[in-house]
A and B are shown apart, each in its own frame.
Chain A
Amino acid sequence: DAGVTQSPTHLIKTRGQQVTLRCSPKSGHDTVSWYQQALGQGPQFIFQYYEEEERQRGNFPDRFSGHQFPNYSSELNVNALLLGDSALYLCASSLAGFGEAFFGQGTRLTVV
């Protein structure tokens, strides 16, 4: 079992650009959540996808959007990038209702 895999591992973008991050959940998991971890901080919940729909959302602007595919994989899209969007983006997968989340290694996004 490969666990949760994210791509790419590192990314550099220019302010104002758009970015797409990808996540494949752990085998058997149906729920994908995305988190933003700024340097020296704890991860902050962005949103969660279940059955291809956004089920919960944290306090993030509409520039942050996502998608879940029929195979449960997921994408996180960020439009109009700001310098403050520079962070480690973590994907977590879980089996709905079981509470325990498994995290990927993250994508380090740098906005310049």
Chain B
Amino acid sequence: GDSVTQMEGPVTLSEEAFLTINCTYTATGYPSLFWYVQYPGEGLQLLLKATKADDKGSNKGFEATYRKETTSFHLEKGSVQVSDSAVYFCAQGRDDKIIFGKGTRLHILP
């Protein structure tokens, strides 16, 4: 069945470091791809999305490119901040149903 696999955490980085969180998916068709972020004690917020192959989603300095050939949607940011500390979920969606990965907890040290 359809699924999402993302790198396990926690990931700990120093402020201003480069971030990559790997994500791959399996799907029978061509889903939309998302990154959601969850801050402590809160619900999910959509960080960025891409709806078709080679699309690049971007928001708040984060980027991810929909790679059909490698079935990947890796999240990157050039310089992380302490405020980026949260749990990040890679997800795929079709017909308004979303399938999530297990999440990657990110800690940014000042």
Contacts and interface: CB of A to CB of B under 8 A. Distances in A.
Interface residues of A, number: 26
B43 A100 contact: no
Contact of A100 (B4, B44, B46, B94): B46
Q: Give chain B's interface secondary structure class.
A: strand
B97 A48 contact: yes
Among B49, B91, B96, the one with the most A-chain Cβ atoms within 10 Å of its Cβ is B96
Contact of B98 (A41, A96, A98, A101): A101
A106 B44 CA distance: 9
B46 A99 contact: no
B95 A100 contact: no
Contact of B94 (A31, A40, A41, A99): A99
A90 interface: yes
Contacts of B103: 40-42
B103 to A, nearest CB: 5
B102 A33 contact: no
Interface string A101-112: 111111000000
A103 B51 CA distance: 19
A35 B98 CA distance: 9
Contact of B96 (A31, A41, A90, A106): A31
B77 to A, nearest CB: 21
Contacts of A94: 96
A42 B96 contact: no
- Nearest 4 A/B pairs, CB to CB: A42-B100, A103-B44, A105-B43, A103-B43
Interface of A: 31, 33, 35, 40-45, 48, 50, 56, 90, 92, 94, 96-106
